[in-house]
Each structure stands twice: as structure tokens, then as C-alpha cells.
Amino acid sequence: MHIPDGFLSTPVWAALDVAAAPAAAAMTRLAQRGFDEKRVPLLGVMGAFVFAAQMINFPVGAGTSGHLVGGALLAMSLGPAAASVVMTAILAIQALVFQDGGILALGANVFNMAIGGVLAGYLPYHLWGAGRGRRVAVFLGGFLSVLVAAVLALAELQLSGIAMPAALLGVSLGLFVVSAVLEGAITLAVFQAMETLHPDFVRQPAGNRSRTLGGLGLAAVLLAVVGVWFASASPDGLERLAENLGIAGRAKAFLPTPLAGYQAGFIQAAWLRKAAAGLTGLALIYAACALFGRWLAPSRQRSA
């Protein structure tokens, strides 16, 4: 789902960089309204959990894999504005530290997943999440968040002059639909688990949720350290599409880093390389989201 550098034409990635910056700034201002400083740990833990979950690819068929994107899950637990801020932080760290998604294409990835995906994921929950259709709304939120982000990415590739045969486009859309269904199912399962641990997890944002936060934090660590053993090695939907279109070789990395590909290259053992990179990512994401949260808190709370 992360678009690397080299896939989008200069006018497309430049326009999306320009568009994503004010959109992210607007989301930040919205998140700041009425933000409760007691929610700072929640931002950090949710960001770390989504980052860890994105490391674990699962097969979706035809030699293709997918992974939890987490936009809907963030939106339902944090609100759409704060979720957009957290997802933007995740995408920025993934691009700058792990070479996952391009630096020049960061605006496109933010626009697709942190803006479009988050808002699309929150819409069903906003409309039906308070009634008897709550479970359906949560599932649809996860489904739509991935489908909208995927359609935006495909549209950006086409705007960049990449011709896509109708048959190949249909197969790619079908695989993205499968990923979206799995996203909805995982989102619902995690959401229900959070509410089982703390029934008012979403309804009372400033409540005492230490057990739930602890559970999410432990799950993030286990995903980063143990889950990588079970992750599918197959390319994701966008990578597979690039291979089929013959453009995979265009991918570029402008910033060398020892954690490229979610591997700490300075460590010899394969498992330790992945685990060290994953744990480093968790720490970076938690710190970035917590700092955002401190900054989002009104000045009267910060000075108290």
C-alpha cells in the first residue's frame, strides 16, 4: 500500500505533497480542539500497535499478501483528526527510517492512508456506531479505509502515465477487496477485544484504561518480536501490481538507513535483525505520538 519513490510522475507526487501538508495541518488543528492530555499514552500505544501490525503481512491469494493498515482502528479509538496525526507520524517514520514508502511520495501516502483512508474508515462508525449496527459499522470502516486508499493509489499511478490493462486492474482491485475484507475483520476483532478489556474504552477517552493500554502494548511487542516469524514473504498488492506492470525496478531509495526493510543490518542473526528493527520502530512511534500528544494538549494543561 505504501507507494515508493520512482512510481509517481513529478507533477503527481509534487501536487500531492503540496496538498497533504495543509490537510495534515488542518487535521492537527482539529485534533487540538478539546484534546485531553490524559489521552497522550493512548496515542503512543495505538500508534505503536498499528506500526507493529503493519509489519505482519498475511496471504490474500495469488501469491500476494496484505497487512493491517489501521486507519479505521485509529479513527474509532482516537477520533478522525488525532488518528490522521498518528498515521502521518507512522508513515513519516516508515519512510525516513525503514525505507517503507518514498520520501518524495510521502504526501501521496499521507493523502491516501492518513487522510482519505482515515476519514473513509471513520464514516460508517460515525453514522451507525452508536446503534445496533455497531459491529457492522466497525467492519465497514476497516473495509472502506483500505479500499479507498487502494483506489486513490491506483488513480495516482494512472495519472502518472502508467497504463494498466483492464484485466490486470480488475485482478488488482479484487485482491485489494480481499485485503479490505480482512482489514474489516481484524479491525472488528481488535475493537471488540479493546472494549472487552475496558467497556468504555472508546466512549470515555479520559478514563482509566491501564489494563487495555498494557494489553495493546504487549500485543505490539509480541507482533514486532514474534509475529515477524509468521509474516508472509509474498509481495503486497501494490508490489505485485508493479511487478506485473514491469515498473518494480523504478523504486528508488533516497535515504540509506541501517533499518531498511525492517532489518537492523548491523546484527548477524536474522531473527534479531527483524526484532531489533521492530522494537526500535515501536519506541520511535510511541515517542513521536506522545510528543504530538503533549503538543496537542492546550497550553493551560501543559503548564498545570
Q: Is the pTM of this model over 0.85?
A: yes
Query: Per residue in 106-121, pLDDT tens?
Result: 999 999 999 999 999 9
pLDDT of residue 201: 66
Q: Which residue has the cell 493551560?
A: 300
* CA–CA separation, 3 and 174 (whole Å): 19
Looking at the DSSP bridge assignments, the partners of residue 64 are 61
When divided into structural domains, the chain yields a total of: 1
Residue 3 lies in a domain: no
Rounded CA gap, 15 and 23, in Å?
12
Q: Compute the average pLDDT of residues 42-47.
A: 92
pLDDT in tens, 226-259: 988 888 989 999 999 999 999 999 998 888 887 9
Residue 4 lies in a domain: no
Q: Give the range among 103-107, 171-175, 193-197 with minimum mean pLDDT.
A: 193-197
pLDDT at residue 138 in the model: 97
Dump pLDDT digits (tens) for 127-155: 998 888 999 999 999 999 999 999 999 99
- The answer to whether the beta carbons of residues 175 and 62 sit under 8 Å apart is yes
Per the domain annotation, does 222 fall within a domain? Answer: yes
Which residues form the domain of 192? 10-302
The answer to whether position 30 is within a domain reads yes
32-41, 110-119, 146-155, 182-191: segment of lowest average pLDDT: 32-41
Q: What does the mean pLDDT of the chain come to?
A: 90
Q: Once rounded to an integer, what is the mean pLDDT over residues 143-171?
A: 95
The answer to the question of residue 229 being in a domain is yes
Domain contains 2: no
Q: How confident is the model at residue 266 (pLDDT cuts 50, 70, 90)?
A: confident
Local confidence band at 171 (pLDDT 50, 70, 90 cut-offs) = very high
SS3 track for 262-296: HCCCCCCCHHHHHHHHHHHHHHHHHHHHHHHHHHH
Helix (H/G/I), strand (E/B), else coil: 6: coil
Rounded to whole angstroms, how far apart are CA atoms 209 and 232? 33
Decide if 250 contacts 6 (C-beta within 8 A). yes
Which DSSP symbol is given to 4? P
Residue tagged 509517481 (cell numbers):
8
What CATH code is carried by the domain that includes residue 75?
Answer: 1.10.1760.20
Give a yes or no: residue 1 inside a domain: no
Share of the chain above pLDDT 70, in %: 94
- Identity of the residue numbered 102: G
pLDDT for 300 equals: 45
What are 182's three cell numbers? 480482512
Percent of the chain at pLDDT > 90 equals 71
User: How wide is the angle at C-alpha 98 spanned by C-alphas 217 and 245, nearest 5°?
Assistant: 120
